[in-house]
Amino acid sequence: MNLEDIFLASTHGKEPKQLYQPIEYVIMQPGKRVRPRLVQLSAELFDGDPTCALYIGAAFEMLHNFTLIHDDIMDKAPIRRGKETVYKKWNSNIAILSGDALANMALQQILNADMECEARFKVIDIFIKTSLEVCEGQQYDLNFETSDHVTIEEYLKMIRLKTAVMLAGCLKAGAILSGASAEDQETIYKFGIDLGIAFQLKDDLLDLYADHEVFGKKKGMDIQDNKKTYLYLQALEDASPEQHKELKTLFASDSGNFNEKLSRVMAIYESLRIKEKIEAVADGYIENALSTLEAINLPSSKKENLKEMTLQLCKRTK
């Protein structure tokens, strides 16, 4: 039994096929499966049941994919993981509805997992809290598109909600299903928040500095969408008055030549060493995460896999 078996069991051959085929298309795409791996690693750390962790991991992976399906409608994103998005391949109605269905199918996996009633209740609680916070994060992200005054602090709050809480939620759920103490649940959650913020900063960097064949998205989509990422906000802070004015102008335009816009923005970022600065910020979060992990009173050897995963996510190319 693996993740894909669980996914197929809940989609394959189901009717109406117009609803279930887009779901299968999305969740069966090869992905990093970061969220299930985090549930599994947390359950390993706290000696939880691996089969139970597999179902909870499936739930979070489905939740994550549900958010991608809906986000892609809102962002009008044509490509994800190198393939057409549901919204583009089918249409936005199908994408709304299959996303809605997938969110429910995610919860069903928590009901399918074999666990004590109270632990299940707590997993559902963190799952729903996470899911609601991700909506809040996405709303802040949408707000930022039309806002002229986004601070770095606001940006960090947004990515904490949109990205970090889900990684943290996976780790906490892994701890809950393993019967870890309330204190350990909170510690691993805190670890996940820092990891998640670093993960998102890395994602922001990859938008510009990845091998885009490997990354699976078009280069500079954040710039095309005028997303106020940490890169942009840091650049605004460090820019000369001329650069500041140019950045503002570039990020206010909707049309024009995209390649020209991209190369102008990248030139400013390079002159300000934005890549190096954001990498340093991300490294700071990773260090925090790792020292939080140290605080858990378990042998260091048990934490190796989680540490390795943390560093992998930091050095990833896609």
Interface positions with a copy of itself (CB under 8 A): 15-16, 18-19, 70, 73-74, 92-93, 96-97, 99-101, 103-105, 107-108, 111, 117-118, 120-121, 124-125, 128, 131-132, 135-136, 138-140, 142-143
Nearer to a copy of itself, 40 or 131 (CB): 131
Cβ 36 to a copy of itself shortest distance, Å: 20
Cβ 96 to a copy of itself shortest distance, Å: 6
Cβ 260 to a copy of itself shortest distance, Å: 28
Nearer to a copy of itself, 140 or 199 (CB): 140
Cβ 110 to a copy of itself shortest distance, Å: 9
Nearer to a copy of itself, 63 or 278 (CB): 63
Kindly state the tokens that stand for 229. 């990422």
User: For residue 224, what are the contacts with CB-CB under 8 A and spacing of at least 6?
Assistant: 218, 258, 261, 262
Cβ 237 to a copy of itself shortest distance, Å: 24
Nearer to a copy of itself, 58 or 250 (CB): 58
